[in-house]
Amino acid sequence: MRSTRNGRGGEFVLSALALGLVLTLAAAAPVQAADGICCLEPSGQPTPPVEGPAAPAGTVVLDFEGLANLEAVNSYYDGGLGGGGSGPGPDFDVTFTTNSLAVIDADAGGTGNFGGEPSPDTILFFLTGAAATMNVPSGFTTGFSFYYSAINNPAQIVVYDGLNATGNILATLPLPLTPFNGAPDPTGQFSPLVPIGIAFSGTALSVDFGGTVNQVGFDDITLGSDVPGGGSPSVLEIPTLSRTAVIGFVLLLMGAGAFLLLRRRAH
């Protein structure tokens, strides 16, 4: 009888361990986006540009509103024009490399596969190269921050004290995978965008927004603060475990505990 009970208990333990492991691994697996940040078929009508958040003195916020869908940012934030002729934009003494593109949410008439952006409806991304590079010849200090979404591949930003990603590295910020839940925008896989920032010493002249092409998007890039939009306090949203992952982990622990108990009784 003792042998039978242990046999049945062993089967239960193995089942719990297997189920827990499957659920945990499934929850940890990256979400595969069919189209990346771009390009969905437009599902809405174009909307007029929306004013971004007001930046406190000493900070600059780039929200990419006013640029056209898939338009190169170029000199738009240097009082000039985007690659498609949009502008002139605000004169913040900021330029971007030609692979740095604006993309508008598909719900607003663009082709962007994203949602939950902090300042609708346009964000920054890139389709070629290893990074989109921002140059600020007049420099900025104190901190740097933004919102981003990267549901399949992690990314990173690097802050330099020289133009065009040269000179000394003032800060490196790894960008972990962000939550994927389709909310608050069920038609955008890269949703929501989450805030992150970093403080540094020295004067920065350029920033590399690195990652996998078409797999990371940025918005409300803020110069002069480690909080996007220049707010307070500092915020970093860490992706949380899903309910499936929690249940799987609990089952895994329960199965391991029961296995050890049965093994002890058997001896």
- What is this structure's pTM? 0.72
* Region for residue 70 given its phi and psi (left: phi exceeds 0; alpha: psi -120 to 50; beta: otherwise): left
- 74 Cβ contact partners less than 8 Å away, ≥ 6 residues apart: 80, 81, 82, 83, 95, 96, 98, 100
pLDDT digits (tens, 9 = 90+) for 56-99: 457 899 999 999 999 999 999 999 999 999 999 999 999 999 99
In DSSP terms, which residues pair with 60 in a beta bridge?
223
- What does the angle CA 84 – CA 43 – CA 229 come to, to the nearest 5 degrees? 60
pLDDT digits (tens, 9 = 90+) for 22-32: 333 333 444 44
- Which pair of structure tokens corresponds to residue 188? 């955008």
Q: Give me the amino acid identity at 102.
A: A
Length of the chain: 267
Would you state the pLDDT for residue 187? 73
Q: Are 43 and 186 in contact (CB under 8 A)?
A: no
Statement: residue 122 has pLDDT above 50 = yes
Q: How far apart are CA 64 and CA 161, in angstroms?
A: 24
Question: In terms of pLDDT, which residue wins out, 139 or 241?
Answer: 139
Least confident of 128-142, 193-207, 228-242: 228-242
Q: What is the largest CA-CA distance in the chain?
A: 85
Would you state the pLDDT for residue 38? 86
With pLDDT > 90 as the criterion, what percentage of the chain qualifies? 59
